[in-house]
Structure 1
Amino acid sequence: MMVDGGHVFYMGKEASLLVVDLSTRKTYTEPIEPKIQRMFYGGLGLNTWLLYHHTSPETDPLGPDNIVLISPGLLTGTNAPASPRVEVTTKSPLTGLLGTGNAGGHWGPKLKKAGISTIMIKGSAAQPVTLVINEGEVSFKHAKSLWGRDTYVTTDKLVEELGRDYSVMAIGPAGENLVKFAAPVFDKQHIPGRCHAGAVLGSKKLKAIAVKGLTTLKPQDAQAYEGAVAHCESRIRSYLGWKARAKAGSMGTIGTNEEGVDYEDIAAPYLKRGEPGVYCPCMMEPLYGCSLQTDIKDGPYAGTEVACAGLTLYSGTASRYGVSLPAAYHVRELCQRYGMDMFGPFSYAINLYEKGIITADDTGFKLAHGDDEALMRLLGMVANRIGFGDLLAEGSAAAGEALGEEARKYVQTVKGLELMVRDPQTSLKGNEFTSLSILTNPRGGDDLKGTHAVSNYPGLAKWAQKLGISMDDYSRWLLDWLDMPHEFKKSVFGDPPNISEPDQVLMTIWYNNLSSVYNSLGLCMFASSAAEALGPTSMAMLYSAATGINTTPEEIMRTGERVFNLMRLYITREGVTKDDDQWPRSLYEEAPSKGTRISAVETENNLKRYYQLRGWDMGTGKPLAQTLKRLNLAT
């Protein structure tokens, strides 16, 4: 079957939805209404709208009626900087709520250049299949020989067979075995880890989607678009914090460890610079550290293959499990090969073992904090549902229910999704905006749909301290740099402004909305939340020139607000209430070894104010009728 490719940016014509019915092995395209495109853009926004209208509370996440939506952002595939992102969304088999995650790389741009705006996968195949999209031509291939292979091997084999112009999204053993937190992997290195679509694709017997797309996408106003791109590139290059990331990416901004060693010096021996485009087709690769690759020459983890290796994700993983940095990289590689969220119930199992709630009789081996060999073995057991791993494959909430009352006490989830943050009682003390962002995240468990990567304030940023910038100079720079409306900026920082004590509830709402819009446009959080380089002014310039539809920074942020509220509307329809916007009970009741218990009163007060400012019902947590009407979500 052929879909309409064309040489005009898709917002200049009808966007194309490719529907793949695996039960009948038929594919067809449907137009997406221009009104829907204008209201939700692409990526996260479009996926949320489609999921809301094509699933219901009765939809079985692992049944044929569930759908998987894969949508590049509206700007993905153009030459806008930091715009290679793609969103994967489904009804989560782990939580029964919203499963959605974002990934970069070359796959999303190639899908757009193949003339396809979004893919909806439904039904279930009788035998394993691979979907091949070649410049708009869609076909099926048998995938029986690939079933059981990890994502790295699957990707290499398909590229070898089809050609190097193809990008591959694949599931691994975790998805095939219906591990509830399994996720697809794009070109071996990009995983929308918290979408849980790997298990859904496994239930549908869809092993991979290989995409080739080479068509040039043309904006409606080419001259204005080039000007907008130049403006955005200048903003990105002008960010002062890049100097602190020169050697080790974002790990270079951490500072020293407990022994007084700079983390930059710890990480640098295991890193090398890759070629341009090794991770994403993006100008930020050498700036943020995305082009850094692992270069482990000795020891048990020599040859580990991980890109974008300068993230604090890896230093955090090393700390979480008490293992070396090379071991943390290997955890990432194994999770990518298996195709599963690396923030699954693994630390939960270790915690239960150390508390004596489970023993070696349950696991089959000792499972202690700091034992990297045991950790790697546990990952394999979960991905393949072997022994105790079969229980953990259901997620820590389900495992806790099965193991009894003592085990349930230590489940660390919000809305059924494992917390990414380690030891929140200590690490989030005084950090109200991250706490609120986690609690109100529509998918639960983390702040990636909100304040994640926000690190330029409150106070003097670590990278600024490292570069020797004074508080006064930094404050002046930050207030001038932030792309916020003047009056809103005054509301956040006060008048006169104090960047050390911003209004953290307002901050949370701002970044909830901002992340929703850049995930719909296909822009990277590193350019927006981390560097604060691409805000609503830049986004409005890009959108207006690309589509020929003039918009404003205010309307850009209203679109983000609309998307976030639609996600909230979806999860409340699925049964979420205000009571689900809470920390695990143990964090309120038990004092940690460091820090203090989380205050239930403070949490409740912050949530009440957040709900009030959002226009949500104070009792149920649902968006109020007037809020839906204001955002054009009432019908």
Structure 2
Amino acid sequence: MLYGYTGRITIVDLSSRSFKTIDLNEHIAKLYIGGKGLSNYILYNYGIWDYEPYTPGNLLVFASGPLGGTRIPMASRAWSAFRSPLTSILGGSNLGGSLAAYMKFSGIDALVVKGSSSDPLYLIVEGGSVEFRSASHLWGLDAIETEEILQRDHGRDTAILAIGPAGENLVRFASINHDRWRQFGRTGGGAVMGSKRLKAIVFKAVDKIVNIAYPDKFDEYLKDLTKKLLPDPTTKALREGGTPRLVEIANRIGFFPSYYWSKVRVDGWENIEWSSMKKSYFIKAGACLYCSVACHRLVESRKFNVRVDIEYETIFALGGNIGIVDPDWIIVFNDLADRLGMDSISLGNVIGFAIDLSRRGLIDYKISWGEPEKVRELIVNIAYRRGKLGEILAEGVALASKILGAEDLAVHVKGLEPAAYDPRTLRGMALGYSIAGRGADHLGTMAYAIDIAGRAGGRLSLAEEKVKTIVEYENLGALMDSLLLCKFGRYIYNFQNMTEVLNIITGWNYTPEQLVETAERIVTLTRFINSKMGVDKSKDQLPKKFYEPVEFEGKEYKLTIEEVEGALNTYYKMRGWDEKGVPTQERIKKLSINESKIISI
């Protein structure tokens, strides 16, 4: 028995409306764990670089991990992976909620979807079996409506993934929604589902048992871990203010991207920081399945009669980044993004880009900072690809900038728009954005956490100590994404206690050193896959805007190409990659990255 796993991967072919269920090879499970590691191995094993994002050959992988469904705190994440239509390299996203547990309750560790359907479909996954149902009555509905209908039809003892109109219309940053307010948000998985004419997936529980190698030890460990978790200052802060608490910190310190990356503090930020919003908009806290932290913040705009689960990134992207500091309107935009099915970070960036171009007289559409009615119109037009500008912006910032002849003004790395951390005042993020596996990503390296805490030389350092710390955090993050632990657990979990819990659940005999090597294997595999799609040092480049000085409280902050180049070279050397940023054959061999076809898709 493979403890901690169901031991099964289900592979669905939408073109033939067929499926097969195969055994999860224990050797592969030990090498890649689950989640990100297992998903990326499946894509590597398949040769994902041979298939363009919108072709039937592109795979869509959903994976749980050995901790999913076990009641371990902060272990309620799930992973999705595919070739991204936004970046054309390895795409991936992570969400919370109930999916990780219900995948295993439905009898599988991973679901692999290939092919495409001629008509809209949704899938029912139950006991390792798959049923194909018509989704013609769901096509055109928003993601939340779709989930509500499927819950009504199939019961609440389910976990549902659904796309909205943006996914159907192949908006390149379309999201996949779950549990009403949770998303696989980044890199366009919703558009991949839309290209396959796959509206939704329903995971139905068969049983709710995860077999654990040492159940008595597990119960004791769970008690001890919970005792450590509750008084931890970071988790306590998340319980009290969720991620919106960062709005005040970001504006006070000066890293809150505003007016499309032209400032690091938005005028009127006091209106959108959490203590202010809490008084007039807060309804209650929410949590992912089996999580005691409860970092989610349900808020309501009584003015517009709208409720959403609001996050820091959305307050940035659909607030300060476009010059809006009215919480009612940010809540409305959040609701539209959720229902229409779009990543709020990319959406806010692409709208900010459009406003910047309009103010410069480079497009015909007239819009400026702080014009919420026009923003609402743009959001809808993007989701439905209406009008010339809606059609262009649905392509994302990188492709839109090429169409509009404004590449020098576009803010992205490898096609992915960045999150709410300005690298001019948080220098670790300059390296983090440059080398992250999916583009301008903040969660791959978690460098923002290092910078905000002032660690490794402080917020303005990109010296060797900072690079070394970023490598360590990236290793930690890769393992957390494969065990599927929440990144907010980074102050609770470390390689020592992650080894302990993994061994108790699986019965394996990992050492912390072996788990570090596993993390390094996952990071290098990710880079190796991307290198087969053209990624090397030439693509690890920041946008020109990040090298323009930014002023904050009378002081000028300027990032230089030389310091970023130096950090990149140091990073590659630490990773055992060559001077072009490509993993060497020696490194690949040492990390046992196996090219043989162990999993047949």
TM-score, normalising length: structure 2: 0.89
The residue that corresponds to 2:379 in the other structure is 379
Segments of 4+ moved more than 6 angstroms: 256-260, 499-502
Alpha carbons of 1:500 and 1:592: their partners in 2 closer, same or farther (altered >3 Å)? closer
AA partner of residue 220 (structure 2): G
The residue that corresponds to 1:283 in the other structure is 291
Post-superposition shift, 1:16? 0.9
SS in 2 for 1:587: helix
Aligned pairs for 1:487-502 (under 5 A) are none
User: Within the alignment, does 1:553 sit opposite 2:531 as a pair?
Assistant: no
SS in 2 for 1:66: coil
The residue that corresponds to 1:611 in the other structure is 572
Post-superposition shift, 1:500? 13
User: Within the alignment, does 1:161 sit opposite 2:153 as a pair?
Assistant: yes
Whole-Å separation in 2 of the counterparts to 1:183 and 1:312: 15
Post-superposition shift, 1:593? 5.4
Cα deviation per residue 1:566-625 (whole Å; 9 max; x = unaligned)? 00000001111111111113433x44455344200111111111111111101x211122
AA partner of residue 390 (structure 1): E
- The match for 1:627 among 583, 587, 596 is 587
Cα deviation per residue 1:188-224 (whole Å; 9 max; x = unaligned)? 2111211311111111111000112132112111112
Post-superposition shift, 1:230? 2.4
- The match for 1:516 among 478, 492, 495 is 478
AA partner of residue 633 (structure 1): I
- The match for 1:95 among 80, 87, 90 is 87
- The match for 1:570 among 529, 538, 546 is 529
Cα deviation per residue 1:69-120 (whole Å; 9 max; x = unaligned)? 0001221111111111110110011111011000010122111111100000
Post-superposition shift, 1:260? 9.0
The residue that corresponds to 2:320 in the other structure is 319
AA partner of residue 266 (structure 1): S
- The match for 1:601 among 552, 562, 570 is 562
Aligned pairs for 1:463-474 (under 5 A) are none
The residue that corresponds to 2:343 in the other structure is 341
Alpha carbons of 1:242 and 1:105: their partners in 2 closer, same or farther (altered >3 Å)? closer
The residue that corresponds to 1:540 in the other structure is 499
- The match for 1:525 among 480, 487, 495 is 487
Post-superposition shift, 1:452? 5.6
Post-superposition shift, 1:330? 2.3
Alpha carbons of 1:612 and 1:260: their partners in 2 closer, same or farther (altered >3 Å)? closer
Post-superposition shift, 1:342? 1.4
CA contact (8 A) 1:84 1:523 kept: yes
Post-superposition shift, 1:556? 1.9
Alpha carbons of 1:587 and 1:429: their partners in 2 closer, same or farther (altered >3 Å)? closer
AA partner of residue 419 (structure 1): P
Post-superposition shift, 1:430? 5.0
The residue that corresponds to 1:225 in the other structure is 218
User: Within the alignment, does 1:392 sit opposite 2:397 as a pair?
Assistant: no
AA partner of residue 290 (structure 2): C
The residue that corresponds to 1:445 in the other structure is 440
Q: Which ranges of structure 2 fall in alignment gaps of 5 or more residues?
A: 253-266, 596-601
SS in 2 for 1:305: strand
The residue that corresponds to 2:111 in the other structure is 119
Post-superposition shift, 1:458? 3.5
CA contact (8 A) 1:73 1:523 kept: no
The residue that corresponds to 1:350 in the other structure is 355
The residue that corresponds to 1:584 in the other structure is 543
Post-superposition shift, 1:137? 3.9
The residue that corresponds to 1:53 in the other structure is 45
Cα deviation per residue 1:387-416 (whole Å; 9 max; x = unaligned)? 111111112211111112xx1211111011
Whole-Å separation in 2 of the counterparts to 1:605 and 1:79: 43
AA partner of residue 268 (structure 1): K
Whole-Å separation in 1 of the counterparts to 2:358 and 2:520: 43
AA partner of residue 611 (structure 1): Y
Whole-Å separation in 2 of the counterparts to 1:180 and 1:134: 30
CA contact (8 A) 1:458 1:502 kept: no
Whole-Å separation in 2 of the counterparts to 1:493 and 1:414: 25
Alpha carbons of 1:134 and 1:15: their partners in 2 closer, same or farther (altered >3 Å)? closer
The residue that corresponds to 1:133 in the other structure is 125
AA partner of residue 238 (structure 1): P
SS in 2 for 1:447: coil
The residue that corresponds to 1:469 in the other structure is none
CA contact (8 A) 2:170 2:194 kept: yes
The residue that corresponds to 1:250 in the other structure is 243
Whole-Å separation in 2 of the counterparts to 1:329 and 1:511: 32
SS in 2 for 1:567: helix
Whole-Å separation in 2 of the counterparts to 1:431 and 1:441: 16
The residue that corresponds to 1:328 in the other structure is 330
TM-score, normalising length: structure 1: 0.84
AA partner of residue 228 (structure 2): R
SS in 2 for 1:583: coil
User: Within the alignment, does 1:144 sit opposite 2:103 as a pair?
Assistant: no
CA contact (8 A) 2:6 2:108 kept: no
SS in 2 for 1:418: coil
Post-superposition shift, 1:314? 2.1
The residue that corresponds to 1:410 in the other structure is 409
Whole-Å separation in 1 of the counterparts to 2:50 and 2:594: 22
The residue that corresponds to 2:279 in the other structure is 269
| Identical residues among aligned pairs (%) | 29
Post-superposition shift, 1:274? 3.8
The CA RMSD over aligned residues, in Å, is 2.5
Alignment size in residue pairs: 567
AA partner of residue 89 (structure 1): A
- The match for 1:239 among 219, 232, 236 is 232
Alpha carbons of 1:542 and 1:391: their partners in 2 closer, same or farther (altered >3 Å)? same
Post-superposition shift, 1:564? 0.7
User: Within the alignment, does 1:436 sit opposite 2:431 as a pair?
Assistant: yes
Whole-Å separation in 2 of the counterparts to 1:282 and 1:269: 28
AA partner of residue 412 (structure 1): V
SS in 2 for 1:102: strand
Whole-Å separation in 1 of the counterparts to 2:167 and 2:5: 36
The residue that corresponds to 1:206 in the other structure is 198
AA partner of residue 435 (structure 1): A
SS in 2 for 1:164: coil
Whole-Å separation in 1 of the counterparts to 2:437 and 2:545: 22
AA partner of residue 508 (structure 1): I
CA contact (8 A) 2:313 2:419 kept: no
Cα deviation per residue 1:490-536 (whole Å; 9 max; x = unaligned)? xx689xxxx999921011101111111011001111112xxx11111
CA contact (8 A) 1:90 1:196 kept: no
The residue that corresponds to 1:3 in the other structure is none
Post-superposition shift, 1:421? 3.6
Alpha carbons of 1:626 and 1:500: their partners in 2 closer, same or farther (altered >3 Å)? closer
Post-superposition shift, 1:17? 0.9
SS in 1 for 2:11: strand
